[in-house]
Structure 1
Amino acid sequence: MHEVRPPEPEEIGAAVRQVLGDCLGYLYPAALRVAVRLGVADLLLDGPKDAARLAEEAGADAASLHRVLRFLATRGVFREDAAGAFHLTAASHVLRTDVPYSVRSTALLLTDRMYWDATGRLEDTVRRGRTVFDEIFGAPLFGHLDRDPEAAETFDRGIADLSVIEQGGIADSYPFPATGTVVDVGGGPGGFLRTVLAGNPGLRGVLYEQASVLAKHQLDDPAVAGRWETAEGDFFRSAPTGGDLYVLKRVLHDWDDAHCLDILRACRRAMTADSRLLIVDAVVPAGNDPHPAKLYDIAMMTIFDGKERTEREFEVLLAGAGLRLLRTLPTPGTVSIVEAGLA
């Protein structure tokens, strides 16, 4: 029988502090959301201000706001000086509304009740093996977005702004050919496809999406003029033929294996022997070290029946669709590019 070693006496205090601190970890995103909603980062653009001044400008209680900002300063989101004034930091700069690298809208999405309420039911999700999002909101996530315009706006803006930040680094991480056609399957409004085409003037592109998404596409850019087209369809059933490269960017992690196989098989039927499929998703590494993919995997579990996958899980999934993993390329961000071809 394996003997379990209890912690040493000097380890117990640190362990208690860690566990109890982690139990209150939910207070950080709650406080962060307050600062974002009140626009504190924008209010500090003309210089440091104390909580009383910020509260007056934001329409909040000064004492309560001071306590929230003091707490956020312990996480480096703001900095409080000896006189009690708060300053911008690198972390608060990315919460501004006037910078191209802003994650303000993404922070509002990730702290929205769509995530918050579903996370509070994580035990039910773990016990049942499926998200309980539909029990909370009356429909699965995408059904909820279809009937709640405000939630859809929050979701679409948060995802789109995240894509703007990461897409350049992703596009630069893959050796695109000099010529050919890139089919972005489920590519949203087309920001990533536009970035790829702008950086590779010999390529043409096809944005494959639902009609409601295509109506808001972002491909009207002189840098890619005459080199793109849109195609309407359902990626569970089909994909446009004639592509040299097929892209699934942040698509598969939204879905369980059965739905992913439908998507992959649709792509497989459209591909030729020379085509390549690029899956852009987080890849979960082995070991106990922290990694964003392990964090995002829990988020996927709570609101979708999706998941972040290991490289081995991608191999198995691809094999089930008649594809094989060729290589995995890192990017500067949290996702990798899993390249596949016909098996």
Structure 2
Amino acid sequence: MEVSLVGLSVGTWIASSLGVAARLGIADALAEGPATGAELAKAVGAHPDAIPPLLRTLAMVGVFGQDEEGRYVNSALSEQLRTDHPQSLRYLCALTGGLYFQASGGLFDAVRTGRPALPSVFGVPLYEQLERDPETAAIFDRAMEDLARPVAAALAEHYPFEGVRTVVDVGGGNGALLKGILAAHPHLHGICADRPEVCGRAEGELRRSGDQDLIDRLTFQPIDVFRECPPGADLYVLKNVLHDWSSGSAVRILSSVRDAMRAGAEQSARPVLLVIDPLVEHDAGAAIRPLIKLVIGEDRTRERSEADLRKEAAEAGLEVLSVTPLPPELTVAACALAD
């Protein structure tokens, strides 16, 4: 599709269509080969007349395609909407084309007032809305798993875990980051700390998996991230957490982790916190991220620089030891207790 004002103006329909296709699992239905609109509709529980306009719209931007007989097929892009794809983005697309797309309907007022859009649309902030909508909350959990998967692989390969026994992932969702790390390092134990309802869903999913080794080494602990954090770990991780919050809230979260690090200092020679977050100096999405924050972030949330993170860490009693880019858009800041 050519870039034009008309083309850009219908981009919202493309985003919404992508979210619908992801949520229905159309790419999974096409994994075995081409299918007609009627066959797809039956497979995913949709109306047969609605499948063609949805997939033809997405085909304009390279998502899905058709063979010589007019049957629908996966493209290179739609392959990533398959649940079993190693770099699957199915649930991230379902989230951005669903809840986040709905929230963007409040962007006009957000730009006029400077207040985030999502609370004005739904009446409550993001995490309260997720508590009210269990189906979307489950999609959110899996979307965070899509984002965690490549980070887990990079950490498992490059971080020196030899001297680490226990890792706590603060705000770790369904434990995807820890699952990747623990799979690569059998000596580790992990604690995933998050909101009670998130831990409940994740623990039930882990039990149903039947993976006894992981069940033995991974636990879920409900917390209020502003008030508490499991003590006694050698390594703490905050991945894609701080960027959702204002500077004041970030300091409160970092202070909660600091307290846990201090409480467990006797068990660990020097506990370390890895803050994995976008920083403007290394962020490939820096141009659009402030707008994303205006839609779904906390009030007064803004993009962070390395200087901002160092200041927040210092206010929380932490020292930034190193800052390392994690392509394409994240940065790993290793922190320790300040002397």
- The bucket for the TM-score relative to the shorter chain is 0.7 to 0.9
Q: Are 1:194 and 1:219, in contact at CA under 8 Å, matched by a contact in 2?
A: no
- From 244, 262, 277, the equivalent of 2:234 is 244
Evaluate the alpha carbon distance shift between residue 72 and residue 242 of structure 1 in structure 2; reply closer, same or farther with a 3 A threshold.
Answer: same
- Per the normalisation by structure 2, the TM-score is 0.80
2:253 maps to what in 1? 263
1:116 Cα offset (Å): 1.8
The answer to whether residue 87 in structure 2 is matched with residue 91 in structure 1 is: no
1:113-262 map, 5 Å: 114-164=99-149, 166-215=151-200, 216-217=202-203, 221-224=211-214, 226-262=216-252
Q: Are 2:20 and 2:97, in contact at CA under 8 Å, matched by a contact in 1?
A: no
The one-letter code of the counterpart of 1:274 is R
Q: Are 2:173 and 2:199, in contact at CA under 8 Å, matched by a contact in 1?
A: yes
SS for the counterpart of 2:270 is coil
2:15 maps to what in 1? 29
Evaluate the alpha carbon distance shift between residue 177 and residue 86 of structure 1 in structure 2; reply closer, same or farther with a 3 A threshold.
Answer: same
Q: Distance in 1 between matches of 2:8 and 2:60?
A: 15
1:293 Cα offset (Å): 4.8
Greater CA drift, 292-301 or 231-240: 292-301
Evaluate the alpha carbon distance shift between residue 99 and residue 339 of structure 1 in structure 2; reply closer, same or farther with a 3 A threshold.
Answer: same
Instruction: List runs of 5+ in structure 2 lacking aligned partners.
Output: none
1:302 Cα offset (Å): 0.7
Q: Distance in 1 between matches of 2:24 and 2:232?
A: 49
Evaluate the alpha carbon distance shift between residue 234 and residue 49 of structure 1 in structure 2; reply closer, same or farther with a 3 A threshold.
Answer: closer
Q: Are 1:294 and 1:308, in contact at CA under 8 Å, matched by a contact in 2?
A: no
Greater CA drift, 165-174 or 313-322: 165-174
Q: Summarize deviations over 1:220-249 as a string: whole Å, max 9, x none.
A: 644456545554432212323322211112
The answer to whether residue 330 in structure 2 is matched with residue 340 in structure 1 is: no
1:295 maps to what in 2? 288
Structure of greater Rg:
1
1:292 Cα offset (Å): 3.2
Q: Summarize deviations over 1:106-149 as a string: whole Å, max 9, x none.
A: 2211111x312321222322333321322321221211222232
Q: Summarize deviations over 1:257-284 as a string: whole Å, max 9, x none.
A: 1111101112122324822110122233
The one-letter code of the counterpart of 2:127 is F
SS for the counterpart of 2:152 is helix
Q: Distance in 1 between matches of 2:53 and 2:131?
A: 38
Q: Distance in 1 between matches of 2:191 and 2:39?
A: 51
Q: Are 1:178 and 1:203, in contact at CA under 8 Å, matched by a contact in 2?
A: no
Q: Are 1:72 and 1:78, in contact at CA under 8 Å, matched by a contact in 2?
A: yes
Q: Distance in 1 between matches of 2:134 and 2:121?
A: 17
2:270 maps to what in 1? 274
2:308 maps to what in 1? 313
Greater CA drift, 221-230 or 247-256: 221-230
SS for the counterpart of 2:182 is helix
SS for the counterpart of 2:288 is helix
Instruction: List runs of 5+ in structure 1 lacking aligned partners.
Output: 1-13
1:2-17 map, 5 Å: none
Q: Distance in 1 between matches of 2:51 and 2:196?
A: 44
2:95 maps to what in 1? 109
